[in-house]
Structure 1
Amino acid sequence: MGGSVGSAVETTGTADSTGAAPVTVRMLGPLTVMRGDAPVTLPASRKVRGLFAYLALAPHAVTRSHLCELLWDVPNDPRGELRWSLSKIRRLIGEAGRIGSEGDTVSLELTGCHVDALQLDGIAQQGVAVQSLPALCRIADGFAGEFLDGFALDRSPAFNAWLVAQRRHYRGIQTGVLEHLVDHLGEAEAGRYLERWAALCPLGERVHARLLRMLARQQRVQEGKSHLDAVIRLFETEGLDSAPLRDVWREAMAQPPRPAPAQAIAVESPAAVVGVPTTPHHGSIAVMPFADESGAPRLRGGVADALVHDVITRLAKLRSLFVISQGSTFALHDRNIAPDEAGRLLNVDYVVSGSIRRSPGHLVVQVELAEVRTGRIVWADILSHSIDDAFLVLDEIGNRIVASVASEIETVERNRAILKAPNSLDAWEAHHRGLWHMYRFNKQDNDAAQRFFAQALTIDPTFARAYAGLSFTHFQNAFQGWTERRGEVDNALRAAGQGLMIDDRDPAAHLAMGRALWLRGSYDQTLRELETSVDLSPNFAMGHYTLGFVHSQAGDPETAIAAADQSRRLSPYDPLLFGMLGSRAMALMRLGRFDEAAAAGVTAASRPNAHAHIAGIATLALSFAGRLDEARNTLAGIRTTLPSYGLSHFLSAMQLAPDDQALFRKAARRIGMDDGE
């Protein structure tokens, strides 16, 4: 446990408190320990060196029994060998670190050492983009190869599995650093990092394409031909198609020559310099086969493959991502291509990978979502279920994976887009910038969202999701009463209709149409569109939520509760969680379950960005539940920003039957919310 990751980023080569020379541990390449400028002789035992690396990176103390199982193949005295190995590590690090021992656990604190792997973890956690270019150059110059290059242990399968995972992890971060430098340095300076990137990812089509284009621009023709020939031989050995790289070289040589700049100039991005949008793209994802760790022989078509096939199919039905087919991902997996490398070969933005473990009556699925460019783990979870009905369990796990992956990617893309200059956004980024503003639920941000959705559609007029977003901003204007209702209803319908004409299989397009029709009071047509959206994609949380929203007011309240609960299961951290809870509260009020309604309403109103009508639901539910003081306080809170807010505003937004309107008026009168309606 080498100190905190954050502190590792700031560690420099200063002497420790004893005045001794600083200790540097290098793991990105062959394992090396330096005291000052002098190398320290490493223990001859490979197991001591492996134990040192494992403990240095362990996030918490490790049990002795685990270490014995990890490194020793049933020795006569595993704990004795462990004690001997720890004594060797004490001599190696001296005063620069400390081995901790508490109970049956062991930890290694390297607070007096600079550890390059921990530094790289800190950079990944903070984000490569926020680091300065000089700092990243210094870090990249220290890359001497992949993690513990050339190191392996015989008859230690658990340790070697950990080693493979660490190499994959650090190769991804190293690649992200090198690619960032190539993107942001002038060509003369970026060339050496491009070559290091190619050496680190020899099967990466993207990096070889960039290297070939650079060699062509610089008229280094013979070098380019030699590099292309070497890559072709390598790709053919691995059974990969080299034709795209041949095309890259042919096209690059056909371009007019352009001399390399005399001086390297760092720029933010090509689009920021010329002031035009970059080439549009849509997010892409590959789902790799899950490993079956149950101990049974690996057979195609088992539970793990069935789950992956289900996840791929469901993600494709969402229509928000370009999803690589199962045939491609399984073919790469069969050639033992790691998930991060497969992501680069397939040129996708995200990769899903995982494992399953079965035991009698139980199934555990471990899954993670990684960003290919940076190697960062965006989301990870362990899903554990008892197997009463295997098909239902797989269905539930598939639901959770698909909904979480879609939600996490949308969050990442929204947050990334908000940091970019508006004139540098492509259609995908402009759409997610629009989503960021749309989910703020105020007039100013809603107007900004409209502009970004319109920008996305100017770049890519075939982007159905951007039409759905644009329709929702018009829906919000009508629903919130921010602008004249009739015109906004027409605009919402028009944008939804354009989205459907582009892609009538997109669940978001049918959702947009259903919402717009609800504004017009076309109840039956609304339900048909919303039911189509969830039929097209059973994992579409927003479709389930909107069905709950509509049923909570004018339909079956029990159906509303079931739909709202399903949307929360699919997307438990959704930006519209307040709406899901608010719909539940509305349905519960209509059923006379006032205490439950009040609990749901108060929770809904406390969510970030909950708007005035959600607080109105909470106010009425509290009144129904007899919690009158709380209801009046909640109403007073609404009126701090909307002084005239009353029942008329609430009823103009909702579509309640006359009997239900009379019910809500009774609750409003008890707390002074009835403003003459």
Structure 2
Amino acid sequence: MPSLSVRLLGPLEIARDGVPVALPASRKLRALFAYLALAPHAVGRGRLCELLWDVPNDPRGELRWCLSKLRGALDTPDRRRVITQGDAVALDLDGCLVDALEIAHAAGLGIGTLETARLQALANLFAGDLLDGLELERSPLFDSWLVAQRRRFHACHAAVLERLAANHPAGSAEMSGHLDKWVELAPFDTRAHLALLSNLAERGAIGAAEAHLASAARLFQSEKLDFAPLRVAWQAIRDQQSGSPLKAQLASLSTRPQLVATPDDAGAIEPSQASLAVMPFVEESGGRGGLADGFTHDIITRLAKLRDFFVIARGSVFALAETTTAPEEAGRKLGVDYVATGTVRNQPGRLIVSVELIEVRTARIVWAETFERRPDDLFAVLDDIGDSIVSSISAEIETVERNRAMLKAPNSLNAWEAYHRGLWHMYRFTRAENEQARHFFDKALQLDPTFARAYAGLSFTHWQNAFQRWGDRDRESALAYESAGHSLLVDDHNPAAHWAMGRALWLRGEQDGSLRELERAVDLSPNFALGHYALSFVHSQSGDPRAAIDSSDHSRHLSPFDPLLFGMLGSRAMSHVRLGQFEEAANWALKAAARPNAHTIILAIAAHCLALAGRLDEARGFAAAIRKTLPDYRADDFIGTFRFEPDAEALFRQGARRIGLS
């Protein structure tokens, strides 16, 4: 066991070799210790003073006193735990057992990945709320932080109990204990109630189950929540006299409780589609309204326009926020897979927006970021931050869903999962992987013929076959066009459908129609990064090269880690060639070729751009790399891949002659 151990969950306690370490009675010292223990990096003294002291006579003096007392409690002759460097303060807790940090680390790995013994050890660490019993007067910033952290660990506890209950034999005493505690922690989680009812049925305690059902119904009614799905699920359990295993019963509940419908609600959640609730952003002081509320409305609208997943209507999330429901609990009430929450801090000279994206089921924070800008033009700054938030949330959810689909057996995938499995293969950019992607998009459409994005994905695979010459170009172009047309017929307001059609029209040589469709895609959703990239791609060859550069930059701003980043960079490189800026073209082409999934065509862009810049040795290196896989590759192959205007074609042929590719 570590010589130093810390309990933050429950009343704060520090022990060395099992012996409690005496601390002064100061509540602010305890608050300071907890804040530093959980901070991901060093914290400035000014921030700590602002957080904990309500403008006393000497806040920095009080901070120095607290730090000196912490040094006395934590430091030893051979190890300094309280670290101060310049104006920043941090705690070094390496080698210590800190309950909250253990749980946070496990949540980061994913509660669902842990073995039963590890889950039980984590459950034993929950001895109460974070800093149980500690309250500070006139410290609104600390109070806001403490409430958020308590919600976070509360959700972690519920996720641990859920996994423990599912891992124990049905009807066992261990399961019963975990289920009782889970329902107590998450009283509006339908899955918790269903698991408890299933366990009672397994034990033959039908009367107890009926009593619990009646009590739960009254609780749900008091919060205006729909109880019908749980009542129906219980009836199904009663009808199966022998009962089914808990995991199967949990899976059978496809609908979690919803708020009673209101006129501006978007309707019921489709069970095969990922879902998201954006809780109202708050001012860091704890207040709501004004700037924060307006920002939330904007984020919800932008995410809905992407049509990537189901977004809960603003009426529902604002109604829940009025009841001071914690974000994670709101996510369970609304039956969503993800919850986004954030704070807005508007200070003289700077605007700070912090955002977290939480996976509700596991209580895992899958993305967190802080955006800080000078509010010279407040609306422009909010627009820029909103772009980054929306694009990041979309990309992170797609990554999580894609990785989850890869872990499931192919024959068990629903339409949504098959689509994301297709994306996983599609972004590998090889002929074999592209065929696998086509297979999974076909499977998604067999399961859901109204899935517009699956048609767009299918169009993309045929586009790749045509572009990369992996199949007959005319046939694959026709199939790309046909699939894009189906996508538009299913959902004409989906930006991905217009993106697919714009690319298909480019293959057919219809540049004007291609640009119209791509512009329609970004008009429908200004945050659709692939739409901006496709505009850059078309303009870079025979359109406006400066517009291509702007669109390339904007697509990378929206999606800086996009799987198609090599294409965004390559398009900019070709645009610089058309402007006669060969050195810039070479530099951007090298960045494109350095991407791990860059294919042969990207290497060819690099070879030609470097040749035009006079960097012949580097250019010949790329040419040699291309000919290892394509021995007969020539300038005609490169030119035939794209649709360059005559002047641009002449430049690239000139570069090819310099390195023996003509």
| 2:34 is equivalent to residue 53 of structure 1 | yes
Amino acid at match of 1:149: D
Secondary structure at the counterpart of residue 363 of structure 1: strand
1:159-204, CA deviations, whole angstroms, 9 ceiling, x for partnerless residues? 3222112112212322333333344544345443333222222233
Secondary structure at the counterpart of residue 640 of structure 1: helix
Secondary structure at the counterpart of residue 553 of structure 1: helix
C-alpha deviation, 1:478, in angstroms: 1.0
Q: 2:272 aligns with which of 277, 281, 286?
A: 281
Structure 1 segment 33-112 matched on structure 2, within 5 A: 44-62=25-43, 66-67=47-48, 69-73=50-54, 99-102=81-84, 107-111=90-94
Q: 1:327 aligns with which of 291, 309, 315?
A: 315
Q: 1:27 aligns with which of 1, 4, 8?
A: 8
CA contact (8 A) 2:281 2:288 kept: no
Query: 2-side partners of 1:104 and 1:511: how far apart?
Result: 50
C-alpha deviation, 1:636, in angstroms: 1.1
C-alpha deviation, 1:583, in angstroms: 1.1
Secondary structure at the counterpart of residue 242 of structure 2: coil
| 2:184 is equivalent to residue 176 of structure 1 | no
CA contact (8 A) 1:518 1:526 kept: yes
C-alpha deviation, 1:435, in angstroms: 0.8
CA contact (8 A) 1:280 1:460 kept: no
CA contact (8 A) 1:228 1:245 kept: no
| 2:173 is equivalent to residue 192 of structure 1 | no
C-alpha deviation, 1:79, in angstroms: 6.3
Q: CA 1:180–1:641 in 2, change beyond 3 Å: closer, same or farther? A: farther
Query: 2-side partners of 1:54 and 1:621: how far apart?
Result: 52
C-alpha deviation, 1:326, in angstroms: 0.7
Query: 2-side partners of 1:195 and 1:552: how far apart?
Result: 62
**Who is 2:572 aligned against?**
584
Q: 2:358 aligns with which of 364, 370, 374?
A: 370
- Bigger shift: residues 402-411 or 153-162: 153-162
- Bigger shift: residues 152-161 or 404-413: 152-161
1:596-639, CA deviations, whole angstroms, 9 ceiling, x for partnerless residues? 21111111111121111111111111122222222111111222
Q: CA 1:192–1:436 in 2, change beyond 3 Å: closer, same or farther? A: same
**Who is 1:274 aligned against?**
none
Query: 2-side partners of 1:41 and 1:155: how far apart?
Result: 26
Secondary structure at the counterpart of residue 129 of structure 2: coil
Structure 1 segment 242-257 matched on structure 2, within 5 A: 242-244=226-228, 247-248=231-232, 251-252=235-236, 254-257=238-241
Q: CA 1:41–1:244 in 2, change beyond 3 Å: closer, same or farther? A: farther
Q: CA 1:363–1:26 in 2, change beyond 3 Å: closer, same or farther? A: closer
Report how many aligned residue pairs link the two structures: 640
**Who is 2:324 aligned against?**
336
Q: 1:506 aligns with which of 486, 494, 516?
A: 494
Query: 2-side partners of 1:665 and 1:80: how far apart?
Result: 72
**Who is 1:448 aligned against?**
436
Q: 2:416 aligns with which of 428, 436, 453?
A: 428
| 2:215 is equivalent to residue 224 of structure 1 | no
Query: 1-side partners of 2:145 and 2:621: how far apart?
Result: 56
Secondary structure at the counterpart of residue 374 of structure 1: coil
CA contact (8 A) 1:578 1:614 kept: yes
Query: 1-side partners of 2:383 and 2:49: how far apart?
Result: 38
CA contact (8 A) 1:510 1:532 kept: yes
Q: CA 1:622–1:29 in 2, change beyond 3 Å: closer, same or farther? A: same
**Who is 1:203 aligned against?**
188
Query: 2-side partners of 1:70 and 1:361: how far apart?
Result: 19
Q: CA 1:226–1:519 in 2, change beyond 3 Å: closer, same or farther? A: same
C-alpha deviation, 1:477, in angstroms: 0.9
Q: CA 1:557–1:256 in 2, change beyond 3 Å: closer, same or farther? A: same
Secondary structure at the counterpart of residue 353 of structure 1: strand
Query: 2-side partners of 1:362 and 1:166: how far apart?
Result: 25
1:114-171, CA deviations, whole angstroms, 9 ceiling, x for partnerless residues? 2221111221233334322221123224433432334323443333222112112212
- Bigger shift: residues 137-146 or 470-479: 137-146
Can you give the 5+ residue segments of structure 2 that lack an aligned partner in the other structure?
Answer: 253-269
Secondary structure at the counterpart of residue 342 of structure 2: strand
Query: 2-side partners of 1:655 and 1:134: how far apart?
Result: 61
Q: CA 1:184–1:467 in 2, change beyond 3 Å: closer, same or farther? A: farther
Query: 2-side partners of 1:112 and 1:650: how far apart?
Result: 57
| 2:474 is equivalent to residue 490 of structure 1 | no
TM-score with structure 1 setting the length: 0.86
- Bigger shift: residues 310-319 or 71-80: 71-80
RMSD after superposition: 3.1
Amino acid at match of 1:290: F
Query: 2-side partners of 1:107 and 1:664: how far apart?
Result: 56
C-alpha deviation, 1:468, in angstroms: 1.0
Structure 1 segment 237-316 matched on structure 2, within 5 A: 237=222, 239-244=223-228, 247-248=231-232, 251-252=235-236, 254-258=238-242, 281-293=272-284, 298-299=288-289, 302-316=290-304
**Who is 2:105 aligned against?**
122
1:447-501, CA deviations, whole angstroms, 9 ceiling, x for partnerless residues? 1111221222222222211111111111111110112222222222222222222
Amino acid at match of 2:103: L
- Bigger shift: residues 251-260 or 426-435: 251-260
Amino acid at match of 1:243: F
Query: 2-side partners of 1:74 and 1:515: how far apart?
Result: 60
Q: CA 1:62–1:97 in 2, change beyond 3 Å: closer, same or farther? A: farther
Q: Once the two structures are aligned, what percentage of the paired residues are identical?
A: 55
Query: 1-side partners of 2:648 and 2:35: how far apart?
Result: 64
Query: 2-side partners of 1:648 and 1:100: how far apart?
Result: 66
Query: 2-side partners of 1:444 and 1:609: how far apart?
Result: 14
Secondary structure at the counterpart of residue 343 of structure 2: strand
| 2:134 is equivalent to residue 151 of structure 1 | yes
1:270-323, CA deviations, whole angstroms, 9 ceiling, x for partnerless residues? 79xxxxxxx96111111111112479x744xx2222221111111111111100
| 2:197 is equivalent to residue 212 of structure 1 | yes
Query: 2-side partners of 1:214 and 1:462: how far apart?
Result: 38
- Bigger shift: residues 89-98 or 560-569: 89-98
Amino acid at match of 1:160: D
**Who is 1:347 aligned against?**
335
Amino acid at match of 2:273: H
Secondary structure at the counterpart of residue 369 of structure 2: strand
C-alpha deviation, 1:645, in angstroms: 1.7
| 2:119 is equivalent to residue 136 of structure 1 | yes
**Who is 1:531 aligned against?**
519
Amino acid at match of 1:27: L
CA contact (8 A) 2:75 2:81 kept: no
CA contact (8 A) 2:453 2:487 kept: yes
**Who is 1:167 aligned against?**
150
TM-score with structure 2 setting the length: 0.88
CA contact (8 A) 2:70 2:82 kept: no
CA contact (8 A) 1:496 1:513 kept: yes
Q: CA 1:491–1:292 in 2, change beyond 3 Å: closer, same or farther? A: same
Q: CA 1:43–1:384 in 2, change beyond 3 Å: closer, same or farther? A: closer
Structure 1 segment 408-487 matched on structure 2, within 5 A: 408-487=396-475
Q: CA 1:236–1:98 in 2, change beyond 3 Å: closer, same or farther? A: farther
| 2:661 is equivalent to residue 670 of structure 1 | no
CA contact (8 A) 1:352 1:370 kept: yes
Amino acid at match of 2:235: E
Query: 1-side partners of 2:359 and 2:498: how far apart?
Result: 30
CA contact (8 A) 1:217 1:257 kept: no
CA contact (8 A) 2:112 2:362 kept: no
Can you give the 5+ residue segments of structure 1 that lack an aligned partner in the other structure?
Answer: 1-12, 17-22, 272-278
Query: 2-side partners of 1:416 and 1:374: how far apart?
Result: 13
